[in-house]
Structure 1
Amino acid sequence: MATAPSPLRTVAGNLCLGSAPDSWGVWFPEDEHQVPYTRFLDELAQAGYEWLELGPYGYLPTEPARLAEELADRGLKVSGGTAFGALHRPEKWDATLARVRNVAELTAATGAHHLVLIPDMYRDEKTGAFTESPELTAAQWADFGRTADRLGRLLLDEYDVRLVLHPHADSHIQTQAEIERLLNESDGRYTNLCLDTGHVVYGGGDTIDLIRRYAERVGYVHIKQMDPEILRQVAAEQLSFGEAVRRGVCVTPPAGVPDPASVIDELARLDAELFVVVEQDLYPCAPDVPLPIAVRTREHLADRGLSGTRRPRLR
């Protein structure tokens, strides 16, 4: 008699699992608290991952031939690049574009087709000090979507790279209302969503609702979970994201919210093939902390049908 499939396992053939330097405590191109990039790459492969996001520009080698050699030596492939950008500040457009071009060139050289853009944060990542107002003006909001589309069209036309904008704690795209406003005021041909499950819930949003109502705009996924108790501390004490991470807000599945199995179930229903990249914010952490977490996380997600053995087709 045939054995019934495990109720824990989801058929998620449209999803491809990867990881990122963030899961090894890497937030900056250089920092005394971070492991060398060679250790990250070695441990990523050892943990059983094939795909990676590039992380902060300058952490991994930026010379394409050298990066290709480092990846090939470990059997690794690139899902996308990562950049920060101040789309709400017209006076910073030139600087933002220069940074994004560097990332786009390296991303395209690896054969990847996604650039994850994180809005500049309004609190310092290390000190938590406010660097600008947490609220955008009406004029800044009016330009945000158009500026994202301008950048997205440039990336598509010049690099064959798709822009996916990443909601982030302590940024102006954090709450569900802000995420929806961005999507409603931008063009899906040029600007789509890097759905970060942890940052959505950090901002009080509903990941499942966003997937259901904006299915066509989900172009890439970061999967992570947050500790509800520390989220309560964030609200009560007005903690910065950096302080929340130091307190352990980002946790290993199946702990935390949102429930990763429910997220995978919902993503598996989409008529789209997507990278799902693991991120567990750990900065700063001891060097021996990330690898066991990475292994447990990959095994847990594999039990829910997520594997990393294929390249998703672009829409």
Structure 2
Amino acid sequence: MSSTVTNARLGSAPDSWGVWFPDNPRQVPGTRYLDEIAQAGYRYMELGPYGFLPTDPAELGEELARRDLKVSAGTVGGAFHHADQFEAIKKDALDVARLAAAVGATHLVLLPAMYRDLLSGDYLEDAELDAEGWGRLVSSVQEIARIVASETGLRAVFHPHADSHVETQQQTYRWLDDTDPDRIGLCLDTGHIEYGGGDSAEIIRRYPERVEYIHFKQVDPAKMAVVKDRDLPFSEAVKLGAICEPPSGVPTVESIAREMNRLDPSIFVIVEQDLFPCHPDTPFPIALRTATQLRGARIAR
């Protein structure tokens, strides 16, 4: 099979500019993110945390048009396994989805809550859900996806994440087996799967029809060994440089490119190299080099 992909749509996200929060003094402003993602040659982007970019659709639309940028998706996370959080998550999801849809996005990325505090690393919950909690996560994610599709037309994709209850390859398989493909798809984050000891290419081979959206990132195996040995939380792993610039980590660009022919030829491939916190001059040259490399490998256009 050919690995040539001519129509996959390459983009990036605020994570690659060190943005994790709507507002933080250690982050670049939204205007700089927009300027630099366009200058790096990406035509597609995610919105990032709600409020980081303008939430008025007309204002945001003008900013995008000025730079010839298009939006692939919005993102929203929450503790789907807690019944008392459902209404709050639904409100957040609809706020993000309505804004994203208004500026032309087609997807909403849903992220599970982390069982460790993002900044302190403290354990907030057990790493494994019991049967009741797992069932609630599955049902809540699918119901949010249904509501979002009904009210905004966006397709929801679920994003397994480090330090969350869906982080390993086996947990991802379980989630795929327990969910309705007509209701929701998978956002395959290659870095998070490898962070959890998995094989992203194998997920594509096993469930090509469920992989509807890709976040591309790599992890440094040597630094990941330190993360596991010291039981470091995700934020400390990022500071250590465990999320690394291609071609320094896994999965390799080539291993993913070889499987891309199994997927929708116009799938979004969104680069996400977590850098929080970082010097404001760090992201742009990395983004430029990464875009050049992925296009050179014909993983996307």
Q: Give the structure-2-normalised TM-score.
A: 0.97
Q: In 1, distance between residues paired with 2:264 and 2:250?
A: 25
Q: How does 1:267-286 map to 2 (within 5 A)?
A: 267-286=260-279
Q: In 2, distance between residues paired with 1:51 and 1:75?
A: 9
Q: Tell me whether 1:25 sits opposite 2:25 in the alignment.
A: no
Letter in 2 for 1:108: A
- Please name the residue that 1:313 is paired with: none
Aligned length: 300
Q: In 2, distance between residues paired with 1:205 and 1:89?
A: 27
Equivalent residues of 2:82, 2:136 under 8 A apart: no
Q: Tell me whether 1:190 sits opposite 2:188 in the alignment.
A: no
CA RMSD in angstroms, aligned pairs only: 1.3
Q: Tell me whether 1:160 sits opposite 2:153 in the alignment.
A: yes
Matched residue SS, 1:216: coil
Gap regions ≥5 residues in structure 1:
1-8, 309-315
Residues 63-72 or 119-128, more deviating: 119-128
Residues 31-40 or 151-160, more deviating: 151-160
What do the CA deviations read for 1:152-183 (whole angstroms, capped 9, x no partner)?
11111111111101011111110111111111
What do the CA deviations read for 1:111-157 (whole angstroms, capped 9, x no partner)?
11100111111111111112222221111112222222211111111
Q: In 1, distance between residues paired with 2:131 and 2:97?
A: 30
Equivalent residues of 1:165, 1:194 under 8 A apart: yes
Letter in 2 for 1:50: R
What do the CA deviations read for 1:59-87 (whole angstroms, capped 9, x no partner)?
01111000001111111100111111211
- Please name the residue that 1:199 is paired with: 192
Q: Give the structure-1-normalised TM-score.
A: 0.93
Moved over 6 A (4+): none
- Please name the residue that 1:6 is paired with: none
Q: Tell me whether 1:303 sits opposite 2:293 in the alignment.
A: no
Equivalent residues of 1:12, 1:265 under 8 A apart: no
* Candidates 84, 104, 108, aligned match of 2:97: 104
Equivalent residues of 2:6, 2:265 under 8 A apart: no
Q: Tell me whether 1:89 sits opposite 2:70 in the alignment.
A: no
* Candidates 20, 31, 34, aligned match of 1:38: 31
Equivalent residues of 2:211, 2:263 under 8 A apart: no
Equivalent residues of 1:15, 1:268 under 8 A apart: no
Q: In 1, distance between residues paired with 2:58 and 2:264?
A: 35
Q: How does 1:1-315 map to 2 (within 5 A)?
A: 10-308=3-301
Equivalent residues of 2:26, 2:277 under 8 A apart: yes
CA drift at 1:221 = 0.2
Q: Percent identity?
A: 51
Matched residue SS, 2:149: helix
Q: In 2, distance between residues paired with 1:303 and 1:10?
A: 12
Structure 1 pair 307–181 and aligned structure 2 pair: CA distance change class (3 A): closer
Q: In 2, distance between residues paired with 1:294 and 1:180?
A: 31
Q: In 1, distance between residues paired with 2:265 and 2:214?
A: 12
Equivalent residues of 2:6, 2:298 under 8 A apart: yes
Letter in 1 for 2:284: L
What do the CA deviations read for 1:29-84 (whole angstroms, capped 9, x no partner)?
11111000000111111111111011111101111000001111111100111111
Matched residue SS, 2:214: strand
Matched residue SS, 2:258: helix
Matched residue SS, 1:108: helix
Matched residue SS, 2:209: helix
Letter in 1 for 2:59: R
Q: In 2, distance between residues paired with 1:50 and 1:272?
A: 17
Equivalent residues of 1:10, 1:304 under 8 A apart: no
